[in-house]
Structure 1
Amino acid sequence: MGALDIFCYTLWILGSVTAFPFGDTLNRQAVLKTNIQTTAQFPNNTWLENIAVRANGQLLVTTIVPDAAVYQVDPTQSHEPLLVAKFPSALACFGIVELGLDEFIVTTNNWTLSTAASPPGSNSAWKIDMTTFSESSGQGAVITKVADISTATYLNGMTVLDKTAGTVLMGDATLGVIFYLDTYSGEYEVVLDDVLMKITVPGPVKLGINGVRLLGDELYFTNNNQGLFVKVPIEKDGTAKGPYEIVARFDTILDDFAFDTTGNSYVTTDPDNTVDFVTQKGSVTTVLGNKNSTLVAGATSAAFGRTFEDEGILYIPTNGGLAGPVNGTFIEGGKVMAFDTSVVA
């Protein structure tokens, strides 16, 4: 990775967001975009859940159906997806973040599609070392268990808190809290707990906090049940140092998201089959898909490319509509879409 790549990536990770007022209510305008293509398509009944980008530009995606696994996807499509890791002691693999160069932390549990829930006591964190991984053989990743998070019920979104200290923050979608994990010692504890992370709205959506990302010293998260995009300033130990603030309100179920270099966000809305652009002031515009579209059916997460060639490309994994078939009938294998965000005004 060249100096320009490192500079752009540093801006993305470390850039700060200016303060803005209480989030606007939903103001969507469907915008037709054509600068999008399929990077990889998986077999039917494959749910891609989360994504991380390696320094060499390769993509790592986690699966929660049909099993708990991590695959590498080549954005140039020069080879088929490669199986990196499989976790036979778990049923689903959720969050993934890069802690150090080519060292990734993932979370697993026993979530199932039939129950849409994870049994308490089944959550674990693992490290995947990709430094010796071979693209030609698909072998060489070193997998070690970091810790069993026994008090968690449903770990989903995750973000790095401090790379040097080896700490991450993990959202529990059922408890509606955020866990702090020291990946070196395996010690963990709840550091954030607020009603904006909880399940408070009666109905079928039984997931609270979902996507979790850190931008500067502000932690952002989505809430499935309440349809909220929220931020809170945090201390170095992950605890809150200021009030929670609603960035934007939605009338749909939110999943994960990614920041661009200016602090705007791209939020995925599974099962509403869209990617929404959220400005720093909280205005929301749909830039990909719609409820009845198969373009990004079941969009679950998003991440920007890290090389000079794709730094403005947003990679979007999907579950193919498994969480809610498009038009009640359409389901396909999960896929990774590549979207050129330069077309977003």
Structure 2
Amino acid sequence: MRVWETVGLLALSLGLTHGATTCGPSYPLPLRMVYQFSKPTYLQCLYVRSNGDMLMGTVFPNASIYYLTGATTPTPHVSVIHTFAGIPSTDVINGVTGIVETEPNLFTFTGGIQQSLGLQVNGTWGVWQLDMRTNSTSLREIQHIPNSGLLSAIVALPQNPTVVLVADTSLGQILRVDTHAPAKWEVVLADWATMHYPPWASLQFGVNGLTIRGEYLYWTNSFVATIYRVRITEDGYAAPGARPEEVTWVRSLFVDGLVFGPEGNGDQTLWAATNADNRVLAISGEGKVTTVAGAPDEMTAAGVVAPRFGRLAGDEHTLYVASSGGIVLPVNGTEFEGGKVVAIDTRPWAACQ
């Protein structure tokens, strides 16, 4: 029953009007390396700007924010915007987990302290702002979230991007923060069944990657390897009477970040990163899950965590994915590398949808 129920839900909820296709692109999809960091570097988040530049945050060996230009060229350039000093200092965070642009050249990100990689110190996490509106870049914590767990992901509301939703993965809840009035932050969703980590999980990772499409907020529950959604208002609250519902289950050790492709072309594919399973997945509107890059025993997408689409004209078909390099769970038990950004050409997939 599970397969038919989730497939039916996905097809109906996305409003699909086309039938199954016999088109069959070959896999893996074409890909290329954009940039690889030194070993060990764990990239945790990726944001693609409208000009094609990228921001990336790390959780190991420190908390840094990097800036990449020239992603579509053979010679991209990476610079360090900021490296946090870590403990003990006033610049204490050692993990940057998610980043979005909430106003032109003003970015909001989540960060806090880990005892070790993936093991948070509760109450040390907050919402920060990176101001790049002038030549003098600045950072500040705009709202500390007391008693929080690990804030693992962030998404801006499409109709009101100065308001963000934040996943507290270890407490199994989603917060709403208005960056213009951050002191009024609040818990807007807390559903044990779909957001809390399972009792057998090795780390406290429940609700994780966030994305919004239409009236729905989607999230992964990482160790359950399941994607859920709930209908929300334009202001980021659960719609009246709305309840979380399962979209699809994935046969994987873990599911991390996820994203939809560009709107307007009718393609409702969800793209997901499996982190410990070293794969990038395409989940069709009919609910079919396809591995489009990587494999459990390959380094191609080792520890892939964050998928984001290009935004430059002519580059909207490119899925950029950031990886951890397999640091937490080495490939084949021993192999890991520096985190990297890989570009995947999704046109063969789109041609079949």
Bucket of the pairwise TM-score, normalised by the shorter protein? 0.7 to 0.9
Alignment deviations for residues 250-279 of structure 1 (CA, whole Å, 9 cap, x no partner): 232000011113331110001100000012
Whether the 8 Å CA contact 1:91–1:112 is kept in 2: the answer is no
Match of 2:156 in 1: 160
Q: Extract structure 1 runs of 4+ deviating beyond 6 A.
A: none
Structure 1 residue runs of 5 or longer lacking an equivalent are 1-16, 22-28, 134-139
Structure 2 residue runs of 5 or longer lacking an equivalent are 1-10, 16-23, 86-91
Secondary structure at the counterpart of residue 343 of structure 1:
helix
Inter-CA distance 182–268: structure 2 relative to 1 (3 Å threshold) = same
Inter-partner Cα distance in structure 2 for 1:216 and 1:20: 9
Match of 2:259 in 1: 258
Secondary structure at the counterpart of residue 171 of structure 2:
coil
Identity %: 30
Whether the 8 Å CA contact 1:92–1:111 is kept in 2: the answer is yes
Inter-partner Cα distance in structure 2 for 1:40 and 1:177: 34
* Equivalent of residue 102 in structure 1, options 105, 110, 118: 105
Matches within 5 A, 1:1-345: 19=13, 32-33=27-28, 35-74=30-69, 75=71, 76-88=73-85, 89-114=92-117, 116-133=118-135, 140-161=136-157, 164=160, 166-186=162-182, 187-194=184-191, 195-241=193-239, 242-252=242-252, 253-261=254-262, 262-344=267-349, 345=352
TM-score using structure 2 length: 0.84
Secondary structure at the counterpart of residue 77 of structure 2:
coil
Deviation at 1:102, TM superposition (A): 2.1
Quick one: which amino acid aligns to residue 97 of structure 2?
Answer: F
TM-score using structure 1 length: 0.86
Inter-partner Cα distance in structure 2 for 1:244 and 1:67: 35
RMSD: 2.1
Quick one: which amino acid aligns to residue 219 of structure 1?
Answer: L
Inter-partner Cα distance in structure 2 for 1:206 and 1:144: 27
Inter-partner Cα distance in structure 1 for 2:188 and 2:29: 42
Inter-CA distance 164–173: structure 2 relative to 1 (3 Å threshold) = closer
Inter-CA distance 131–257: structure 2 relative to 1 (3 Å threshold) = same
- Structure with bigger RCO (C-alpha 8 Å, 6+ apart): 1
Whether the 8 Å CA contact 1:276–1:286 is kept in 2: the answer is yes
Whether the 8 Å CA contact 1:93–1:108 is kept in 2: the answer is yes
Inter-CA distance 288–227: structure 2 relative to 1 (3 Å threshold) = same
Inter-partner Cα distance in structure 1 for 2:236 and 2:188: 6
Inter-partner Cα distance in structure 1 for 2:56 and 2:203: 24
Range with greater deviation from structure 2 (223-232 or 243-252)? 243-252
Alignment deviations for residues 208-227 of structure 1 (CA, whole Å, 9 cap, x no partner): 01101111221000001211
Secondary structure at the counterpart of residue 301 of structure 1:
strand
Whether the 8 Å CA contact 2:323–2:340 is kept in 1: the answer is yes
Deviation at 1:77, TM superposition (A): 4.7
Inter-partner Cα distance in structure 2 for 1:320 and 1:47: 7
Deviation at 1:39, TM superposition (A): 0.5
Whether the 8 Å CA contact 2:25–2:348 is kept in 1: the answer is no
Whether the 8 Å CA contact 2:217–2:232 is kept in 1: the answer is yes
Deviation at 1:163, TM superposition (A): 6.0
Quick one: which amino acid aligns to residue 42 of structure 1?
Answer: F
Range with greater deviation from structure 2 (82-91 or 282-291)? 82-91
Quick one: which amino acid aligns to residue 197 of structure 2?
Answer: I
Alignment deviations for residues 27-52 of structure 1 (CA, whole Å, 9 cap, x no partner): xx996225211101100010001111
Alignment deviations for residues 87-107 of structure 1 (CA, whole Å, 9 cap, x no partner): 332010001111112221011
Secondary structure at the counterpart of residue 347 of structure 2:
helix
Inter-CA distance 290–113: structure 2 relative to 1 (3 Å threshold) = farther
Alignment deviations for residues 207-246 of structure 1 (CA, whole Å, 9 cap, x no partner): 1011011112210000012111111101234222212221
